[in-house]
Structure 1
Amino acid sequence: MPSLVLGPLLRHVDKVSATIWVETEAACRVSVTTGEHGEPALLGQATTFHVRGHHYALVVVEGLEPGSLTPYDVRLDDAVVWPEADSTRPPSRIRTAGGSEAFSVVFGSCRYATPLAITNEEQEDFPPDALDSYSIKIAALPQEQWPDALVLLGDQVYADETTETTKKYLAAHRDLDKPPHDQLANFEEFTYIYHQSWSDPNIRWLLSTIPSSMIFDDHDVIDDWNTSSDWRRKINATDWWADRIAGALGSYWLYQHIGNLSPEELREDPNVALITGAQDGYDDLRELALEADRNPSSIRWSYRRKWHTVRLLMIDSRAARSLEEGDRAMLDEEEFSWVEQMLIDAGNDGIEHVLVGSSLPWLMPPAIHDLEGWNAELVRRFQGRRIGRWAEKIRQAGDLEHWAAFPNSFDRLGAVLESLARGEHGKAPTSLLVLSGDVHHAYVAEIVEPKGITSRIYQLTCSPVHNEVPHPMVQTFKIGWSKPAVA
C-alpha cells in the first residue's frame, strides 16, 4: 500500500473550490473525501504524476458552497492516510471564502528549518519557531478563531544556509570540498530540504487546514539572488549554477507554485499538462526551470487570490527583474504592466481590502531607503569606474536590493497604489496593504502623503518566522527608524 510522504497541503481556496497537494511514496490514486459517518463522499480525485522517483498529486475540489466548512480526509488507493490514526489534532477542513465574518490573514517569511532538524547546539542561536508555535496555539482554539489564509512570503526553505543534519546528508552523497560545498546543489537535495521543513507534525497539520499562498525569496534559491547584472555574470560563470537553479526553480514549481494556481489556471497552463502527463516529468521540469532563469518572461510566478471582498496580488520580486544598468527594474515591463492591470482590476471590481504580497518590503526605514537609492545611483552613474565598482561591492555585501534600490520601480508601484487610493479606478478600497518579510524585522509603516487619498496604505512587514536576528541588523534598524533618520 502506498504511503503519504508529505502533505496534505491545502493550497488554493476561493468561494467554491480548493486544491490539495500531496507527495506519495509510490504511484497511486489520491482521493479527497468527506463524511464522518457512513459512506464517504468524494470531493476530488487525481492520479499521481512522476518526477525522478518522486510522486505528486494536486487534487482539485470544486462545487463547494461559499462560506462553507468541509472536513476532509485523504485516501491513497482507497486507504485512509490522513488524518493519521493516532492524531489528536482537530480534523483538517476546507473553509471557503464568501462568508459574512471578517476575513483574517496570517503572514510571515524566513523559516530556517523545523526545530526537529536542528541540533541542540544550533537551537541556542534560534528563537522558537513561530509557525510551529502558532500551529499548536490555534489547534486548541475554536475553529471560528482560526485564520482564513496563511501567506508565506519567501525563504520557506534555505538552500544556502543548511543545518548540521542537512550537511551530513549532503556529505553522504557528494564531495563537499567542491562547489557549492555545503549548500544545495541539485533537484534531489531540494526535495530533501522540503521534506525536512514540512515533515514537522505541527506544520503538516497547519498546512493541511489553513490555505497557504507562497512566493520565493532569495534563500529559496541562493543569497542575493538577482541582486544585479554583475551578480548574474559571476554566478553564470560557475560550473554548478545550472544544476542549482534547475533544482531550486524545479522544486519550487512542484512544492509551491502549482498550489498557487486556481483550478482554471491549472487547466490552462501548458506546463502543468506537460509535466503531469509525462512518464517522468523531470526533463521537462528542468528545462522549464532553466528557461525561467534565462528568460523571465517564459513563466509568470506572480499570481492573485480572490477572497470575496479581499484580494491578494502576489508579486515575484526576484525572478522577474530587469538588471542591466540603465534599464534596471524590480519587474520587467511585461510583468509590471500585468501587476498594474491586476491592481486596477481590483479597484474596478470594488474590492474592499487589497493585499500586495512582495517578499521584499516596499517601504523601508527612511535612512535605509535613502542609502539604497544613493547606492543605486552611484552604480549607475559610475558604471565601470572605481566608484561604481566600489558601490556594487557594497550593494552585494549589504543586501541593498529592496524596492528602494530600484527607484523607478518604487515610484511606479507607489503611483498605482495612490491612484487606487484616490478612487481613480472605481471606489477606493478601504485599505491597501503591502505584506512583506525578508529583513528579519517587524514593523508597520503608513503612507500619509500625498493628500487626497481616501484609502489607508500600509507596509506590513513580519520576519523571521524562525531564524536569528543578527545584532548588526538590530542596530541598523534602530538607526533607520530613529528620529534624526525619519526627520
Structure 2
Amino acid sequence: MPHPAASAPALVLGPLLRHVDPVSATVWVETDRPCEVDVLGRRTRTFCVGGHHFALVVVEGLEPGSTTPYEVRLDGAQVWPPEDSAFPPSRIRTPGGAGAFRLAFGSCRYASPYTVEESEGIPPDALDLYAQRLAAQPEDRWPDALVLLGDQVYADELTTQTRGWLARRRDQALHRRAPEDQVADFEEYTRLYVESWQDPQVRWLLSTIPSSMIFDDHEMIDDWNTSAAWRERMSGTDWWAGRITGGLVSYWIYQHLGNLSPQELAENKVWRAIQDLVDASPGTPADAEPLLREMAARADADPASVRWSFVRHWGDARLVMIDSRAGRVLEESDRRMLDDAEFEWVEAAMRRAAEEGVEHLILGTSLPWLLPHAVDSLERWNATLNRRHHGRWRGRLAEALRQASDLEHWAAFGHSFDRLGRAVLAVARGEHGRAPATTLVVSGDVHHAYAAEVVRPGGLESRVHQLTVSPLHNQAPHPIQVAFRIGWSRRARRLTERLARLVGAVPASLEWEKQAGPYFGNQVGELVLEGREARFVLSVSGKDGVHDGRLLQVLDMPLSEA
C-alpha cells in the first residue's frame, strides 16, 4: 500500500525519462499521495489508481540536440535528485546532436539487489554494472536510448521478501485461492515494480536515459498465450481473471504509458478519460482503477481493442516495437503471432520508415525471430503435430511438450514468421524507397546472446540481422546452455530438419547464419549507429564475462557495409 501520511509528498518510484524527441520529453513518477509534480516548470497533478498515485509530465519546448539537467518537485519541494546522490545529475538529451546514436538493449531482469545472487548462482546484475560504468564516463559515451525487451518484473518467480509479504497480506483473507508464490492483483504487482526500480543504480539510469519497453510472458505468467489449450486451462481457474487484469493495468501504467508520444497521449481515449478524472476534482482525483480494469479486461478478451506495439523516431534510426504476446491468434488451425490488423500496422510502419529514408530500421520483439536452427525446426515440427493431431492423444502430447519446452516463438507461428520475413525483405530490397543500411531485429527471452544474419535470398541492399541479448539479471541453467550450443550445430540442424520434414512441416522461407555467440551470463547489448555505419557491442558479467563487479566487453561486430 502507499506510504502513510507525512508532512510532505515523496517519490515512491522514478523519475523515469520515457519518450524523448527533438523538442519534447515525458517524465513518469509514482508518489506516495496526491500532489502536483513539477519538471522544468511544467506542472501536472497526479492521478490515482487503486490508492496509488502517478504522474506523467510532458515537457515541451526543448531544443534539438540539447542537454537539459532537471529536477523533480512535488508541491514545490525538490525531491530529485537526492541530496546524497553519488550519480551525475539526471538530464534530458534530445536527438539531433552530432556523433553516433547509441542504443542499449536487453531483457529478463530479476529484482536486484533483492535476489541473493551468490546463493542462487546468479551473476551480478548487468544493468546495475552498466549504470555504474556510464556514471564514470563522459556524457558523449552514454546511450541515447534504452530498449527493454520483456520481463522487467517476474509475476511468477518472486523474491523471498515478496513471498513473505504475500503470505502476510493473504492471511488477512485476501486472494486465498491464488497461487501462493505468484502475485494475484494490481496491488501485488505494484510491489514488483518497487522492488525492481528502487535499485539505486537502475533508478538513476532510468532517470537519465530515455526508455522504451515491451512485455513478455513473465510480466503476466510463464507461457502466457502459448496456445488455445493453455488459455482454456487458465481461463478455467478462479484466479486468472484477476491476475491478467491486474497485470495489464500495471503494465499500462508502469510501462506502456511512457511509450507514447505527446501526440499519441492526446489521442489516447483511456489517457484522456484519466485526465478528465483529474480535472473534475480539485483534491484527490477519483480512482481510475475501474476504467483501467475495463480496458484490461477488454484487451484480454479482444486483443484488437488495444495496440501495445509502438514506434520510436530517432533521426536516421527508426524503432518499430512489435507486441509478440498479447495480440496472438491462437486457434490451432490458424495461429498468428499478431492479428491481421496489427500486422498491417507493423508493415505500414516499416514501409513509412523506408519511404522516409531512415538509415537503420530496428524491429523490437521480445521473442527472437531467427532462432538457433535446430530450435527453429523443432518448433515447426511441434506446431505441425499440434495442428495435425489437435484434440487427439498425439496432439495432447505435442501440446504438453510445447508448454514444457517453450516451443512458441516466431517459428511456431509459421505464417507470421514468413509474413515478417516478406516485410523485412521488401524493405531490404528497396521496394519502398532506398533500402536502409541495416534492418535489425532486436530480441531477448532465450537467456543467451547471439548475432545471426540473413544470407538467402541474396540481392539485398540492406543487411538483415537478428541480435538477441538476454538476460540482464537471471541465468540459464547448465542443461539449457548445452542445448542452445547444440542448437547451432550442423549435426543437430540436419537431425531436426529431417524430423520436421517427416511430419510435413513447412521450412523457413529464408536462410540465416550465426555470426557470433552464443554468450552466457548477464548481458547488455549496444547498437552504435553513425550515418550508414552500424556496430553491435556486447558486454557480459558472469559466465562469459567476469564476477569482479565489472562488465567485460566480449564483442564489437560491424553490421553494415559502410
Normalized against structure 2, the TM-score is what?
Answer: 0.83
* 1:128 equivalent in structure 2: 124
| Cα 1:365/1:119, change in 2 over 3 Å | closer
Note if 1:432 corresponds to 2:432.
Answer: no
Among 72, 88, 91, the residue aligned to 2:89 = 91
* 1:50 equivalent in structure 2: 48
* 1:395 equivalent in structure 2: 402
Structural mapping, 1:147-296, within 5 Å: 147-174=143-170, 178-278=177-277, 279-296=286-303
Q: CA deviation at 1:454?
A: 1.0
Note if 1:408 corresponds to 2:415.
Answer: yes
CA distance in 1, matches of 2:274, 2:328: 26
CA distance in 2, matches of 1:455, 1:356: 14
For 2:190, the aligned partner's letter is: T
CA distance in 2, matches of 1:412, 1:119: 43
| Cα 1:222/1:124, change in 2 over 3 Å | closer
Task: Give CA-to-partner distance per residue, 1:339-382, whole Å, 9 cap, x none.
Answer: 01100011001011111000000000000000001100111111
Q: CA deviation at 1:486?
A: 4.7
* 1:118 equivalent in structure 2: 115
Partners of 1:330 and 1:406 within 8 A in 2: yes
CA distance in 2, matches of 1:45, 1:449: 53
Q: CA deviation at 1:177?
A: 6.8
Partners of 1:432 and 1:458 within 8 A in 2: yes
* 2:306 equivalent in structure 1: 299
CA distance in 1, matches of 2:427, 2:116: 49
* 1:356 equivalent in structure 2: 363
Partners of 1:49 and 1:277 within 8 A in 2: no
Note if 1:327 corresponds to 2:327.
Answer: no
CA distance in 2, matches of 1:79, 1:354: 42
Partners of 1:119 and 1:164 within 8 A in 2: no
Normalized against structure 1, the TM-score is what?
Answer: 0.96
Note if 1:137 corresponds to 2:136.
Answer: no
For 2:411, the aligned partner's letter is: A
CA distance in 1, matches of 2:94, 2:387: 48
Structural mapping, 1:470-485, within 5 Å: 470-485=477-492
Q: 3-state DSSP class of the match of 1:448?
A: strand
Partners of 1:447 and 1:458 within 8 A in 2: yes
Q: 3-state DSSP class of the match of 1:104?
A: strand
Q: 3-state DSSP class of the match of 2:439?
A: strand
CA distance in 2, matches of 1:293, 1:180: 20
Task: Give CA-to-partner distance per residue, 1:278-331, whole Å, 9 cap, x none.
Answer: 311011111111111101011110000001111101000000000001221000
* 2:455 equivalent in structure 1: 448
Aligned length: 476
Q: What is the percent sequence identity of the aligned residues?
A: 61
Q: CA deviation at 1:481?
A: 0.8
CA distance in 1, matches of 2:185, 2:152: 17
CA distance in 2, matches of 1:9, 1:137: 19
Partners of 2:177 and 2:239 within 8 A in 1: no
Partners of 1:110 and 1:463 within 8 A in 2: yes
CA distance in 2, matches of 1:80, 1:24: 13
* 1:462 equivalent in structure 2: 469
Q: CA deviation at 1:255?
A: 0.3
Note if 1:366 corresponds to 2:373.
Answer: yes
Which segments of 5 or more consecutive residues in structure 2 lack a partner in the other structure? 1-7, 278-285, 495-562
Q: 3-state DSSP class of the match of 2:26?
A: strand
Task: Give CA-to-partner distance per residue, 1:240-273, whole Å, 9 cap, x none.
Answer: 0011011100000000000000000001101001
CA distance in 1, matches of 2:406, 2:36: 46
Partners of 2:448 and 2:468 within 8 A in 1: yes
Q: CA deviation at 1:389?
A: 1.2
Which range moved further: 170-179 or 428-437? Answer: 170-179
CA distance in 1, matches of 2:325, 2:121: 28
* 1:36 equivalent in structure 2: none
Which range moved further: 380-389 or 401-410? Answer: 380-389
For 1:206, the aligned partner's letter is: L
Q: 3-state DSSP class of the match of 1:300?
A: coil
Q: CA deviation at 1:179?
A: 2.9
* 1:22 equivalent in structure 2: 29
Note if 1:419 corresponds to 2:415.
Answer: no
CA distance in 1, matches of 2:437, 2:116: 46
CA distance in 1, matches of 2:431, 2:230: 39
For 1:235, the aligned partner's letter is: M
Structural mapping, 1:36-75, within 5 Å: 42=41, 44-75=42-73
For 1:346, the aligned partner's letter is: A
Which range moved further: 422-431 or 470-479? Answer: 470-479
Structural mapping, 1:76-87, within 5 Å: 76-87=74-85
* 2:516 equivalent in structure 1: none
Which range moved further: 98-107 or 186-195? Answer: 98-107
For 2:390, the aligned partner's letter is: Q
* 1:38 equivalent in structure 2: none
Partners of 2:177 and 2:238 within 8 A in 1: no
Q: CA deviation at 1:62?
A: 1.1
Partners of 1:214 and 1:256 within 8 A in 2: yes
Task: Give CA-to-partner distance per residue, 1:382-401, whole Å, 9 cap, x none.
Answer: 11111111111110111000
Partners of 1:119 and 1:165 within 8 A in 2: no
